[in-house]
Structure 1
Amino acid sequence: MTERVMKNSSYLNASSLTGTMTRVKDVSPTSGMCPLCIRECPFLCEIGLSAFRGREVLYPVPDWFGASTAGAIKDYYLDWSHFNILSRLTTVFGVEADPDKVLFPNVDVETKVGGIRLRVPIVIGAYGSTEVARRNWEGLAKGAAISGIMIIIGENVCGMDEEAKVENGKVVYSKEMERRVKLFRE
């Protein structure tokens, strides 16, 4: 049998992240379920785990909480090798047609996102309130700032900050939010 991660959704009901597996390998390509799901199944699949443990299993492998980050196993049949930069080799625009001046460092790809100037059109996604994000924020924020790109502070940072101050249902102070913004600005 081939690898578990197929070109469909058949791998979705078993994951190394949660320690789940299916009884058989020829699961349904759309649901990831075994063709015959039995009551006395000796294996715990994602459906069974959710039925038994519910909300507890939202975070993969709790033993690694705060020391890991989870990456989704997705295959969109697309990778960087599918992109080709097809440029004209005979025409130069926006700069003097001199081979000593037509160099990558001389290219201006500056843009604006939400009114914020970016040297490079890259935005680092939200890392949120995870312990991994908190521990690694200094390097991420400073690297983003030095590179001239944007890093997004996750939506629940204040919610997980035990020292946050809330008045009338609004966060008025968060030590962790202040720390993250300060590290980016430094």
Structure 2
Amino acid sequence: MGREKNALTAYMLVALLMVFLNGVEGGDTLRLGDSISGTGDQTLLSKNGKFELGFFSPDENNTNWYIGIWYTNMADRAIVWVANRETPVSEESGVLNVSRDGYLALFDAQGALVWSPNVSKKASRAVILDSGNFLVLGGENHSEIIWQSFDHPGDSWLPGMKLRRGQKLVPWKNSFDPACQKIRATLEQFRAVLGEPIFRC
């Protein structure tokens, strides 16, 4: 009986350790089975520490939470990309996860799907680069770019980002709500007025 109890205790400790290790904080990559959550301020940090990806809340009451990318070393956090602009998580305890069967997805505290890239191929990992680009890699060789945030810009243009003709930068609804503003501007419209696309709407 004592031996069985010790074995059960050891099993539980190993299970808890695996849950702890699957949480990622400070690295630049989510691998199969890895996740980050809003609780505990878990984030991904690009290799040279330029950009960070994680949960944030733009309003003072912390009522809505989003997955976003921001410059790491700016005192006033500058959000350059938001995944779930139209569908905030109502609690801090949301989870961004790369499942063991190869799907990147954001879930709320109840386990409901909130956001996921629209891709058909399975992911092997997701990584935040020093360019601010968030890549999902997979395919047969596990290194094919199957989705990237640079192909889905929000309100910010970053160096290295190539806006396609007709592609739009869409400003936030207001400073507390990253949902899409009705005013939209194409790359051609920005160039017509300013000569080059601006950094932020």
TM range (shorter): under 0.3
The structure with the larger Rg is 1
TM-score, length basis structure 2: 0.26
TM-score, length basis structure 1: 0.28
Higher strand share: 2
